[in-house]
């Protein structure tokens, strides 16, 4: 169809429509304007409905498209300088009337047990053990081991030495034992020295300079030929004072008690000092009895008085051993000076090389009661662990661990 014919037909249709509105009393539009609109409408209808809008044509600022098919433009969100509304306040809990404010705190008790495994004959530390080789029992109930590691670190140790007018041989044995132990200290170790008779005397405070300890031992050795001030030995009070001093120091501490073990005038009784030793959670006591050679040479002599003296020293030796057993330490009874290097070497190995076991007790009551601990070694099948040397000969070993601990007392 040609363009002129299209214009005539469109114009006729429009004129018919206008005549209809004229009958209703509307004002007629001029013919020229009608023809112009008709021409424009004809041109628009000539475009196919599927023609797309040119790419470079800007989209309208707001509203629908100019054509029948196009992009609908939404009004742009105007930038506002106003701050967003604040978040709703967290709901507050209001206690009922006459009800005080309370807080809940739950403490899960954790127990750390240092275990030393030494060969019975040579006191050599046994390495290479695994967590499955250990079993820990608390009051007869097996516990689940949750932490395990082998530790070897610098030590903090107090030399507690008896220096009294008990006899020349006792003082010499003490000096030799203290000297042998100090010789094996390492530069990172902290060590202090304190002597006691009726009272306690600080020879040297904690230091990393072992030469300072050796000088203190030499000063005591220069006076060893002279009579001491007192013959009384208050070992219970001295040990209690030592535990008080070490309680101010964090971490694991050790006491090397070098004494005859005889107590004469202490304010504390044996039961009281044993309770104090049990309550020391992070202090291990190693003990060395003095006067072994003299007692062995005079044992069984002197009639009734000699028998009483033998019983006194036998009880003292048992007390020293009990202090060590309760805290997981070791006790030695050397008779000759030649035994001291091996004894102090065993102490050093036990202090530095240990297995650390951690568990949460099944009995979580914080009632201040005494909990007894037992440690066993087992093989892969759960049987008691057996050790043997290169020649397939069985080896006996000692398990060094605390006898127990006292649970914390819950404060009401």
Q: DSSP assignment of 119-138, as one string? A: ETTT--B-----GGGEEEEE
Q: What angle do CA 226, 231, 237 make, to 5 degrees?
A: 125
* Residues 196, 175 share a domain: yes
Angle (CA) 240 189 319, round 5°: 30
User: Does residue 83 register a pLDDT over 60?
Assistant: yes
Based on the fold, state whether residues 259 and 297 are members of the same structural domain: yes
Residues 260 and 402 in one domain: no
Q: For residue 74, is pLDDT > 60?
A: no
Q: Do 129 and 182 reside in the same domain of the chain?
A: no
Q: How far apart are CA 27 and CA 212, in angstroms?
A: 126
**What letter does residue 360 receive in the DSSP assignment?**
-
What's residue 90's pLDDT? Answer: 61
Over 70: is that where the pLDDT of 54 sits? no
Q: Which of 101-105, 166-170, 295-299 has the highest mean pLDDT?
A: 166-170
Q: Which residue has the higher pLDDT, 335 or 152?
A: 335
**For the segment 196-255, what is each residue's pLDDT rounded down to a tens digit?**
999 999 999 999 999 999 999 999 998 877 766 788 899 999 999 999 999 988 888 999
Domain-embedded: residue 47: no
Q: 245 in a domain, yes or no?
A: yes
Phi then psi for residue 356, to 5 deg, are -105, 120
Position 33 in a domain:
no
pLDDT tops 90 at residue 34: no
Q: For residue range 294-345, list pLDDT tens digits in order.
A: 888 877 676 666 678 888 889 999 999 999 989 888 999 999 988 998 899 8
Is the pLDDT confidence value at 35 over 50?
Answer: no
Distance separating alpha carbons of residues 273 and 248, to the nearest angstrom: 19
214 and 314 belong to one structural domain: yes
Together in a domain, 207 and 311 = yes
Residue where a domain terminates, one of 329, 351, 373: 351
Q: Is the pLDDT of residue 346 over 80?
A: yes
Judging by beta carbons within 10 Å of its beta carbon (0-12, 13-18, 19+), is residue 16 exposed, middle or buried?
Answer: exposed
Residues 296, 310, single domain; the answer is yes
pLDDT given for residue 151 in this prediction: 80
Whichever domain contains 165, its CATH number is 3.40.50.410
Q: Residue 157: is its pLDDT beyond 90?
A: yes
Residue 2 has pLDDT above 70, yes or no: no
Residue range(s) defining the domain that contains residue 248: 153-351
Examine the fold and report which residue of 334, 351, 368 is the final residue of a domain before the chain moves on.
351
Reported as half-sphere exposure (CB side, CA atoms, 13 A), residue 118 has a value of 23
Q: How many domains does the chain have?
A: 2
Domain end residue (candidates: 302, 335, 351)? 351
User: Residue 23 domain-assigned?
Assistant: no
The two structure tokens encoding residue 8: 């005539």
> 92 near 101, Cβ under 8 Å?
no
Alpha-carbon span 215 to 211, nearest angstrom: 6
Q: Is the pLDDT of residue 69 over 80?
A: no
Where are any strands of DSSP class E within 52-211? 111-119, 134-138, 141-143, 145-151, 156-162, 190-196, 200-207
| pLDDT value, residue 238 | 96
Pair 190, 153: CB distance under 8 Å:
no
Q: Is residue 301 part of a domain?
A: yes
Do residues 193 and 164 both lie within one domain? yes
| DSSP annotation of 355 | E
The predicted structure's pLDDT at residue 124: 77
Instruction: Say if 88 falls within a structural domain.
Output: no
Residues 373 and 404 occupy one common structural domain: yes
Task: Look at residue 261 and tell me if it is in a domain.
Answer: yes
**pTM beyond 0.75, yes or no:** no
**Whether residue 240 sits in one domain with residue 131:** no
SS3 78: coil
Across the beta sheet with 331-332, what order do the strands follow?
200-207, 190-196, 156-162, 253-259, 283-289, 331-332
Regarding whether 271 and 252 lie in a shared domain, the answer is yes
Distance between the two ends of the chain, CA-based, in angstroms?
A: 107
Domain for residue 65, yes or no?
Answer: no
pLDDT tier for residue 58 given thresholds of 50, 70 and 90:
low
pLDDT at residue 47 in the model:
46
Per-residue pLDDT tens over the stretch 245-283: 999 888 889 999 999 999 999 999 999 999 999 888 789
Q: Which of 287, 231, 243 is nearest to 268 (CA)?
A: 243
Same domain, 310 and 169: yes
The pLDDT > 90 percentage for the chain reads: 40
């Amino acid at each position: 169809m040609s363009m002129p014919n299209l214009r005539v037909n469109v114009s006729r249709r429009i004129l018919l429509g206008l005549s209809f509105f004229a009958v209703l009393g509307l004002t007629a539009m001029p013919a020229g304007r009608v023809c112009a609109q008709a021409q424009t409408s004809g041109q628009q209808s000539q475009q196919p409905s599927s023609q797309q809008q040119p790419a470079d044509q800007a989209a309208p600022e707001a509203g629908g498209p100019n054509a029948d098919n196009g992009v609908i433009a939404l009004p742009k969100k105007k930038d506002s300088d106003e701050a967003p509304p604040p978040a709703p306040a967290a709901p507050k809990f209001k206690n009922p009337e006459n009800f005080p404010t309370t807080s809940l705190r739950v403490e899960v008790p954790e127990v750390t047990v240092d275990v030393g495994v030494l060969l019975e004959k040579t006191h050599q530390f046994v390495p290479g053990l695994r967590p499955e080789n250990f079993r820990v029992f608390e009051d007869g109930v097996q516990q689940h081991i949750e932490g395990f590691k082998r530790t070897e670190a610098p030590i903090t140790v107090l030399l507690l030495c008896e220096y009294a007018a008990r006899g020349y041989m006792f003082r010499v044995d003490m000096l030799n034992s203290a000297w042998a132990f100090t010789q094996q200290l390492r530069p990172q170790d902290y060590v202090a020295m304190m002597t006691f008779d009726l009272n306690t005397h600080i020879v040297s405070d904690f230091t990393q300079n072992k030469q300072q300890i050796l000088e203190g031992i030499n000063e005591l050795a220069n006076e060893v030929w002279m009579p001491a001030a007192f013959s009384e030995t208050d070992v219970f009070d001295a040990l209690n004072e030592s535990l008080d001093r070490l309680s101010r120091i964090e971490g694991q501490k050790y006491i090397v008690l070098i004494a005859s073990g005889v107590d004469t005038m202490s304010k504390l009784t044996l039961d009281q000092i044993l309770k104090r030793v049990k309550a020391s959670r992070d202090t291990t006591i190693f003990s060395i009895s003095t006067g072994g050679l003299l007692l062995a040479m005079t044992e069984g002599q002197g009639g009734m008085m000699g028998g009483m003296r033998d019983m006194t020293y036998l009880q003292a030796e048992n007390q020293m051993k009990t202090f060590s057993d309760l805290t997981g330490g070791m006790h030695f009874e050397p008779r000759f000076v030649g035994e001291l290097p091996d004894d102090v070497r065993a102490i050093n190995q036990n202090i530095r090389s240990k297995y650390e076991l951690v568990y949460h007790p099944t009995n979580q009551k914080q009632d201040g009661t005494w909990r007894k601990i037992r440690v066993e070694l087992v093989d892969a099948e759960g049987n008691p662990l057996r050790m043997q040397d290169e020649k397939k000969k069985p080896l006996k070993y000692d398990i060094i661990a605390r006898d127990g601990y006292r649970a914390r007392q819950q404060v009401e």
